[in-house]
Structure 1
C-alpha cells in the first residue's frame, strides 16, 4: 500500500505540476510585503475553493487556511507555507520577473505557497485514504514581524485541534533534488537590539571637555565580543553582531549621541535570556565609567526552531519512499537564520526541513539577493514531500 500511495503521489504531482508552476509564476510576478499579501491570499483562496476545500480568509489580516477532511476520523496535521516577499529590486532575468518595482520574491516564498497548493491538490485527490484531517496554513509576514504567532492567537491550532505540524524551505546551499533534515535545534532565535549612548558633545580639538560617545561605543562593541568568546559556555552556540552604528556629522565635532543596532542569535532558551542581561551589564559599567548614559532595547523575535525527533524521522521515511536514501541527508549543523515556524513547533510536535534548489554543490543560490532564481522543477520535491508526510503521519 505504501508503494501504491507513493507512486500515486508522483503521478498526481506530474498531473498538477503545470498548474502549480503557473501559480508560482503568478506569485513571483506579483510579490507583496509582510501583512500586505492581499492579492496572494486572494489567489490562494480561489485555488483552494476551486478544489472544493473548506477555506477561511483574513486570519491575522492576510492569512488563509484550508481544511481537507479525511474519510475516517483521526488526528489533524498542519502544513505551512509563508507568502511574503522582500524589499528588493529584481535583477534575475526570468520571463516571470517581478512586476512590482522594488519588491521581489528573493527567498522562495512564492515556491512555498505554490508548493503547498500543489500538496493540497494531491491530498484532496487522496482524501478518501486519509484517517484524519489536513490543515493547510498560508501564513503572512515571515520575513519581518512574523505571522505565525498572530495566526496561532487567532485560533489556527484549533477546530479541529492540530496534533503535528510540518513545513519546508527551499534552500540555496543544498543541491536541487535533495531533502535535508536536522534533529533538535535547527534555526536560531533572531532577536534584535538597539542602543543609544548619550555623552556630551564638543569640539573635536578639545576632547577633555566632552564625553565622547564614539569612543564609548567602540569599547562597548569590543566588550560585547567577549560575551560570546569568554563568558558563554562554548558548547552553546551564539552570535552577537552589531550591524549598524551611527554618530556624528562632521570631522571636527564630537557628537552628543551614538546609536547602534544588531542581532542576537541563539538556540538555547537560557542563553537567550542571559545574553541581553550581560549586554546591559557591559553597557552600564562602560558608560558609568566614562560619565555617559545609555538606552537599551531588545525586541524578542521568533523563538529557536526545535525539531521533534520523531516527526523529523517520519519526514526522513516519507522522503526516502519518494526519492531514495541517496537524496535524503542529515545535518548536525544548525542554521543561525531565524524562522517563525518555531511558534508552531512550540505548540505541537513538528519538523521543518530544507529542499535543495542549487544547480550543483559548487553553485549555491544566494537568498535575499536581487538575482535569486531557481528551477520550477523543484516544486515537485516540496509538494510531493509535504503530501507524503501528511499521509504517513495520519495513517501511521
Structure 2
C-alpha cells in the first residue's frame, strides 16, 4: 500500500512539474513572438530618446513619454518620484511575488559628435552610456508582461530612474518614498556593456571595484616634499596585480580581451588595487596640510582596513607628531552587490530559455565605473546584469562613456525577451 501511494505521488508530482515546465516554455514562446511584433516600434522609441537626450534632473520629456506609454498599457503609474522618476505597477491576476525592474533615463554632457544617423538634437548632450536603450528595454518588458497578465502571479514594478549619472537618482527616489509605494521582494536591472550584442554577463557579489578617496590631515610641515614622498610610497605599496601604465582607458580597453578580460577565468581584473592619483595640498591659511589619494580596490575588507594600516605606518614614522586624522571622503562611485542565491537562480532561469552560449559569467570586477543601483540592493536583494551591445563586424562599439559609443539595436530584442521571461518566472515562483 505504501509503495502504491509513493508511486501515485510521484506520478502526480511529475505531472504537475511537467505542466509547470510546459507552461513556462509556452510563456517564453509568447514573449518571444510579442517582442518580435513590437521590435520595430521599440527601435523608434530608442531613436527618439537618443535624439532628445536630457541631463540628470532634467528628464522631463523622457519621463512624460515613459508615463504615457505605461498608462496606455493599462499599468498603474506614479510620477515625479525623486524628481522625474516614474513607477509603473503591473498587478497580475493571481497572488505571487513582487518583482522590481529598474531602468535609468538620463544622458551625459559631451561635445563629441554623434556617430549615428539619428543624431542628438540637444547640443552638448548625448546618450553615450546607453540609458536610452535601458529605458526602451524597460518599456518593452512592460509591454510583453502586460500581455501576459493572465499568467502573471504577483506584481511587477517598473522603476524609471532619473539622475543615475550624478549618482543621486536612486537615493532621491528612495528618500521620496519609493519603498512606501512599492514593496518588492527582489530587484533587477541592467547596463549596456562592451560585449557582443545580446550577450548577458553577470557575477555574484561585487560587480565593480570599490572606488574610494582617502583624506589624511597633517599639521603644516616644513618637509612637505618628504611627507608627500612618504605617503606616496605607502599607497604604492598597496598596488597589486594590474600594471598601471598610460591612461585608465588603456586598462579599460582590456575588459573585453578574451584572454585577460572579465569573461576569462585568467582575468587580470580580480583581486587588484589601482592607485588613481595622489597629491598634497595646504589650505589657504596654512593651518592644515591635506594628503588626498583616490584608488580602486576589489576587496571590501581591505577597503575597510586600509585607513587603519596607513595610520599605523604614520604613527611609527617621523611624521607622527604632525598627524591629525585619516578617513574616506564621500564617494560617488558604488558597486552593485549581487545576491549570490538570486544570481544563481537568475542565471539558471535565463539560461534555460535563452541561448546558453550568449550567457557568460564574469570572473572579475569592473574598474573605473560605478552604479547607484546599489541603493536599491541595500533595501531588497537583487541582481544587476551587463547586456552587450557591440557588433565588431559593423564597427559598433558599446563601451560606455566613449566618444564613439553606439549600440547594435538588435540587443533590445534580446534584452526584452530574456529579462521579461526572468521577471515572469520570478513573479510566479513560490
TM-score class, shorter: 0.7 to 0.9
How far off its partner does 1:321 sit?
4.1
Q: What residue is the counterpart of 1:348 in the other structure?
A: 380
Contact 2:201/2:387 (CA < 8 Å) preserved in 1? yes
Distance 1:243 1:28 in 2: 34
Q: What residue is the counterpart of 1:307 in the other structure?
A: 338
Q: What residue is the counterpart of 2:191 in the other structure?
A: 169
Q: What residue is the counterpart of 1:207 in the other structure?
A: none
Q: What residue is the counterpart of 1:326 in the other structure?
A: 357
- For 1:97-136, list aligned pairs within 5 A: 97-136=119-158
Contact 2:389/2:409 (CA < 8 Å) preserved in 1? no
- For 1:1-396, list aligned pairs within 5 A: 1-172=23-194, 174-193=195-214, 199=220, 211=222, 213-229=224-240, 237-243=271-277, 245=279, 263-279=294-310, 288=319, 298-301=329-332, 303-336=334-367, 337-360=369-392, 365-396=398-429
How far off its partner does 1:70 sit?
0.5
How far off its partner does 1:356 sit?
1.1
Contact 1:79/1:386 (CA < 8 Å) preserved in 2? no
Distance 2:350 2:112 in 1: 33
How far off its partner does 1:46 sit?
1.8
Structure 1 residues 105-155: Cα deviation after superposition (integer angstroms, max 9, x where no partner): 111111111111111111111112110000001112222233223322333
Structure 1 unmatched ranges of 5 or more: 201-210, 249-254
Structure 2 unmatched ranges of 5 or more: 1-22, 242-268
Contact 1:280/1:296 (CA < 8 Å) preserved in 2? no
Distance 2:318 2:79 in 1: 50
Contact 2:396/2:407 (CA < 8 Å) preserved in 1? no
Distance 1:54 1:194 in 2: 47
How far off its partner does 1:383 sit?
1.5
- Distance change >3 Å, CA 280–CA 371, structure 1 → 2: farther
How far off its partner does 1:66 sit?
0.7
Distance 1:97 1:282 in 2: 54
Higher strand share: 1
Distance 1:29 1:260 in 2: 43
TM score, norm. by length of structure 2: 0.77
Alignment length (residue pairs): 375
Contact 1:65/1:136 (CA < 8 Å) preserved in 2? yes
How far off its partner does 1:372 sit?
0.7
Structure 1 residues 163-190: Cα deviation after superposition (integer angstroms, max 9, x where no partner): 0111111111x12221122123322333
- Distance change >3 Å, CA 214–CA 104, structure 1 → 2: farther
- Distance change >3 Å, CA 157–CA 237, structure 1 → 2: farther
Distance 2:312 2:124 in 1: 41
RMSD between aligned residues: 3.2
TM score, norm. by length of structure 1: 0.83
- Distance change >3 Å, CA 226–CA 315, structure 1 → 2: same
